[in-house]
Amino acid sequence: MCSGNHLNPFNVSCEQCMREFYSWTFLFHRTCQLYDCQMTLNLNSFCVPASCRYFQRAEIVCTLATARTLCKDKCGKMGQDSEKKKKRKSKKSSKEKKERKEKRSKVETPQLAAKVKHAGGEKILALVGDRRLATESKPIIKSLYTESEEVSDSANSEVSQFRETRRITVKNCDIRPISKFAYSNLSDDELYAVRNFSTPSPIQSQCLPIALSGRDLVGIAATGSGKTLAFGLPAIKHIKAQIDAGLVNGRNPVALVLAPTRELAQQIGSVLEDAGQRVGIRCVCLFGGMPKRDQARIVKSGVSIVVATPGRLEDMIGDGTCSLSEVSYLVLDEADRMLDLGFEPHIRSICQSIRADRQTLMFSATWPSSIQKLASEFLCDPARVTVGSEELSASHTVKQIVQVVEHGVRDRLLDDLLKKYHASRKNRVLIFVLYKKRLSEWSLCYKEGDGIPRQSTGTYPRRRGQQQSHHSNQEKFLSLWPLMWQRVAWIFPM
């Protein structure tokens, strides 16, 4: 209540009265909302005379009572109609949800591929791809594999035993694996890349005949299992077949390999360049961090295989530098890694410019639901080959020894291990470090053959010149410290 001498209990000029008045008006509006009343508060109704701005508590209470009675008369029973309206809204929402579910169930689920009639027969088209280009272009020559007599004469028990010993699982395909590269019907020039290998790896023994037969393929295997040649050798055979049939002019790329990182793209490019040099098939690697001008010049000169990262390739397609209108062989390597890096929109935009009746091969280390969805949209009735487990796990072909050591003993232990396993200097050793500075220091140490300096503190190893410069910098700082202190004392006198 107001402590001033007011005619009425509420005074507009008093803050305490205004606070209490607003609490009553809020209660009035809340009452109207509660009983679903469309009344609005008219401030003039609270004024005693028209010129007076004092308000009566009783009038406000009466106004609240009238609001309740009006709501009661309007609704019939206080609050029941509002509850009925709420129930009706909930029923409507539930009905709408049911209708939406029924509509979704009525809509047909997208098929893995669609069949389109063509003058030369039927074409199976992927969901993601250029369908106009597929229907208007000549059919692709895909079937390039003939099973040899040695493979066809082998018994089913031998095939199952071969797959079991190599932990190979095949689904949606009856093509038998091969135990020798000669059984793939590839020429000696096409097998030039495997001249130093006696037998194919597990992923190669099963994926080579499937890819050569023209089927779409999903390969699940660990890194370093030989997947590059598993899709690289069929790519060379595929390109030669299209060129010999006159379906391509040889200037635009016919095979496209997408990789998540530029390091992997460079590795694949070097392997495919070596594999195609005997048959005259050129390869180019497109990745970020390098000038576009040099890469565009190589593409325009004429290449058959493009190995690229999604970002750089999308940029070059937008610039008109690289055309994918003649690409009929697509490889998605390490698809799970590309999805983790967020490349799915880029992959979709790239594949939309490729004909939908292409042959697509996808390789991954795992088989999660995201990869399954990607395979259902990009591939047509694919065969699935799994070597090992579909889950991410360590390689079973590599012996791993894990030692947890303290920070100070790490350098000494690494020096002992290198002397033990790298004494001949003929094998290769891979060492991972945290900083570039650490890498440059250790590389300097081992180039001169000094080894790693044995330090008990575990600090970064430094050369003698670096230690002297470090001490000289400390001496310079200490020599300049008195002058700096004088400046500080002059600015901030004590």
User: In the chain, where are the structural domains located?
Assistant: 10-76, 121-387
Place of tokens 């609050």: 79
- Nearest-CA neighbor of 382 among 365, 362, 402, 368? 362
pLDDT of 303: 94
DSSP state of 181: G
CB 476 within 8 A of CB 468: no
pTM of the shown model: 0.63
The residues pairing with 384 across neighbouring beta strands, listed in sequence order, are 171, 218
Residues 456-469 pLDDT 10s: 333 444 444 444 44
Q: What gap in Å lies between CA 404 and CA 225, rounded to an integer?
A: 28
Structure tokens at 454: 């044995």
Reading phi first (left if > 0) and then psi (alpha if -120 to 50, else beta), residue 320 is in: left
Q: End-to-end CA distance of the chain: give it in Å, rounded.
A: 58
pLDDT at 412: 83
Name the strand (E) or helix (H) holding 258.
strand 255-258
Q: Which of 128, 331, 127, 325 minimizes the C-alpha distance to 216?
A: 331
Residue 305 CB burial class (10 angstroms; 0-12, 13-18, ≥19): buried
Distance from C-alpha of 96 to C-alpha of 125, rounded to nearest angstrom: 36
pLDDT tens string 52-94: 333 444 444 444 444 444 444 444 444 455 555 555 656 556 6
**By C-alpha distance, which of 413, 385, 381, 338 is closest to 178?**
385
Beta carbons of 11 and 47 less than 8 angstroms apart: no
CB-side neighbour CA atoms (13 Å) of 73: 5
Cα–Cα–Cα angle for 428, 430, 435, nearest 5°?
Answer: 145
- Do 331 and 258 form a contact (C-beta atoms < 8 A)? yes
CATH superfamily ID and name for 121-387: P-loop containing nucleotide triphosphate hydrolases (3.40.50.300)
Distances in Å between the alpha carbon of 210 and those of 231, 288, 348? 10, 33, 25
- How far apart CA 397 and CA 393 sit, in angstroms, is 12
Amino acid 100: pLDDT? 63
pLDDT tens digits, 212-223: 999 999 999 988
What are the backbone angles phi and psi of residue 88, rounded to the nearest 5°?
-65, -40
* Cα gap 415→420, rounded to integer Å: 9
Distance CA(251)–CA(366), nearest Å, equals: 36
DSSP state of 268: H
What pLDDT, on a 0 to 100 scale, did the predictor assign at position 19? 54
Residues across the chain = 494
| Residue in 121, 8, 3, 134 with CA at minimum distance from that of residue 59 | 8
Q: How far is CA 109 from CA 87, 104, 105, in A?
A: 34, 9, 8
The alpha carbons of the chain give a radius of gyration, in whole angstroms, of 38
Q: What does the alpha-carbon distance between residue 291 and residue 272 come to, in Å, rounded to a whole number?
A: 22
What is the model's pLDDT at position 439?
A: 76
Q: Is the dihedral of CA 34, 39, 41, 44 positive or negative?
A: negative
Distance separating alpha carbons of residues 365 and 379, to the nearest angstrom: 18
Residue 186 phi/psi, 5-degree rounding, is -95, 145
Residue-by-residue pLDDT tens, the chain, 494 positions: 444 444 444 444 455 555 555 555 555 555 555 444 444 444 444 433 333 333 444 444 444 444 444 444 444 444 455 555 555 656 556 666 666 655 544 433 334 455 554 444 567 899 999 999 999 989 999 999 999 999 999 999 999 999 999 999 999 999 999 999 999 999 999 999 999 998 999 999 999 999 999 999 999 998 888 999 999 999 999 999 999 999 998 789 999 999 999 999 999 999 999 999 999 999 999 999 889 999 999 999 999 999 999 999 999 999 999 999 999 999 999 999 999 999 999 999 999 999 999 999 999 988 889 899 999 999 999 999 999 877 666 666 677 888 888 878 887 888 888 888 887 777 778 888 887 777 777 776 665 554 444 333 334 444 444 444 444 555 555 555 555 545 444 444 54
Which pLDDT value is given to residue 103? 52
CA–CA distance, 479 with 475 (Å, rounded to integer): 6
